[in-house]
Amino acid sequence: MRILLVEDDPNLSRQVRSALEDTDYSVDHAADGEEGHFLGASEPYDAIVLDLGLPVIDGLSVLERWRTEGVATPVLILTARDRWSDKVAGLDAGADDYLAKPFQMEELLARLRALIRRAAGQASAELTCGPVVLNTRSGRVTVDGEAIKLTAQEYKLLAYLMHHADKVVSRTELTEHIYDQDFDRDSNTIEVFVNRIRKKLPVNIIRTVRGLGYRLEAPDGDAA
């Protein structure tokens, strides 16, 4: 999953980015509203963390522009303003959730997980496809209750497919959502990761859709 962090405070940005990357998110960072607006409008993200008190363009204006331009990415706003009217303004401008500073990092991560799940039409913290279960809270993947070891990139790819089960996902989409902006992207490596995951899962749930990409689906006879 790929996150855009728009925050001007260097220390907080560093802490949030570190926490997100430690949880296997790919993260892009913008330190002002102008750059944040550009990235959010031009790059595909699974969620955006947006500070309201930004230089150049304030966060509320950035959010309003995104929504006017049709950007539907889930947005979690960070605010040092604790007045209820400020929270209402943020939600009315198109935010999906808000978090007041100071906050606990675990709460930020939990709210992001919930936003991403809801955006993908998933309700539970445990994503299931046949015998495969991915726990978004712990990052644990099991098959019939037995834990499977995955590398960080393998986990990111499987997690994205699990969030979008039964949908065809192109190699380009996978590349855009598991790598950050600065990564030297090569969509050919997606096939390598898919093959590695298939070897580790004793069940074939990742189907190749010729010319289109991949679809995660439960084996015949299993409920997704």
| Calpha distance 176→196 (Å, rounded) | 19
pLDDT tens figures, 145-178? 999 999 999 999 999 999 999 899 999 999 999 8
Reply yes or no on whether the pLDDT at 184 is more than 70: no
Could you tell me the two tokens for 106? 């675990």
Domains and their CATH numbers in the chain: 2-119 (3.40.50.2300), 126-216 (1.10.10.10)
Question: Is residue 186 very low, low, confident or very high in pLDDT (cuts 50, 70, 90)?
Answer: low
What pLDDT does residue 148 have?
Answer: 94
Burial 102-122 (b: 16+ CB within 10 A, else e): eeeeeebbebbbbbbbeebeb
Residue 205 CB coordination number (10 Å)? 23
Could you tell me the two tokens for 57? 């363009």
pLDDT tens figures, 86-127? 788 888 999 999 999 899 999 999 999 999 999 988 888 999
- Measured between its terminal Cα atoms, the distance across the chain in Å is 21
Reply yes or no on whether the pLDDT at 81 is more than 80: no
pLDDT tens figures, 1-36? 999 999 999 999 999 999 999 998 999 999 999 999
Alpha-carbon separation of residue 163 from 13, 33, 98, 116 (angstroms):
27, 29, 23, 8
pLDDT tens figures, 42-60? 999 999 999 999 999 999 9
